[in-house]
């Protein structure tokens, strides 16, 4: 234990095991929602939700281990909303690109992203962007994510006359969204740690009590298999052979480039 304390510089940082465990648990419950949201979003692209769930969990765990053990930064890493919504709704549903080909596009974009990061090109571009534009980009991505959430929750619907209109409150499932939003907003105002996660739990309980959500038959089960999605991107890289798909790759790169944008 003393070796671990020395490695993580407990004395220098004036921390303790209790503080670190509490911080880790609070961070986990604040970001665990992605384990449920990611399969739902990518499921719209016809990806296997179970495989997406397992992949999200493994990728998050690996990234957090590397960030904590190697980099020793108190930053948790996991899939973020934004790029997955663009992948599912804009590329796969909107453009009609299969999720296998789109996944190959993500892989190619990630290789390019890695290269421009290693050669510090991204850093140079980010430093050249005015602060106001950084705020605008972050706000725009946030509004896009919020709009997708409101649409899936039934609070926003399509309209031929006004393009977008208010959803129907007579739809029972919409009230799950309303309850979740009210509880989450109240907890965030009160600065309760894990407000988003707690709001999701309460909304889920409300749905099960009202019969809108099926009650699980088991408390614990084996993790879903990765087989439906594992290695698919590598097998479809050769399909990135048209101008349209290279535009998709470039768009993935730009969305990822600006998704986590530092602002002053």
The whole-angstrom separation of Cα 61 and Cα 77 is: 8
Global pTM value: 0.77
Nearest partner of 47 among 83, 97, 95, 100, judged by Cα: 100
d(CA 120, CA 57): 29
pLDDT higher at 98 or 83: 98
What are the pLDDT digits (tens) for 187-246?
999 988 778 888 888 998 999 999 888 888 888 888 899 999 999 999 999 999 888 889
Would you say the C-alpha torsion 183, 188, 190, 194 has a positive or negative sign?
Answer: positive
pLDDT score at 260: 60
Q: What is the pLDDT of residue 175?
A: 93
Six-digit token pair at 139? Answer: 């706000």
The structure tokens 């740690």 sit at 193
From CA 6, how far away is CA 118, in angstroms rounded?
A: 30
H/E segment holding residue 134: helix 131-152
pLDDT (0 to 100) of residue 261: 54
């Amino acid at each position: 234990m003393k070796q671990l304390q020395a490695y993580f510089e407990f004395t220098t940082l004036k921390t303790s095991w209790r503080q670190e465990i509490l911080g880790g648990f609070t961070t986990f419950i604040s970001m665990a929602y992605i384990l449920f949201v990611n399969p739902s979003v990518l499921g719209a692209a016809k990806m296997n939700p179970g495989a997406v769930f397992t992949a999200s969990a493994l990728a998050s765990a690996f990234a957090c281990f590397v960030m904590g053990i190697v980099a020793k930064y108190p930053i948790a890493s996991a899939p973020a909303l934004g790029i997955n919504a663009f992948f599912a709704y804009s590329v796969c549903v909107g453009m009609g690109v299969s999720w296998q080909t789109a996944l190959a596009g993500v892989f190619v974009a990630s290789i390019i992203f890695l290269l421009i990061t290693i050669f510090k090109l991204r850093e140079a571009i980010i430093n050249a962007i005015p602060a106001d534009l950084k705020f605008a980009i972050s706000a725009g991505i946030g509004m896009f994510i919020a709009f997708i959430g409101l649409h899936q929750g039934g609070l926003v619907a399509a309209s031929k006359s006004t393009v977008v209109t208010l959803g129907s409150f007579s739809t029972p499932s919409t009230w799950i969204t309303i309850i979740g939003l009210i509880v989450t907003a109240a907890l965030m105002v009160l600065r309760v740690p894990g407000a988003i996660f707690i709001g999701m739990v309460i909304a889920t309980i409300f749905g099960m009590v009202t019969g809108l959500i099926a009650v699980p038959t088991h408390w614990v089960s084996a993790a879903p298999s990765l087989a439906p999605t594992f290695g698919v991107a590598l097998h479809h890289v050769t399909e990135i052979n048209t101008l349209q798909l290279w535009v998709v790759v470039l768009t993935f790169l730009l969305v990822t480039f600006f998704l986590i944008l530092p602002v002053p």
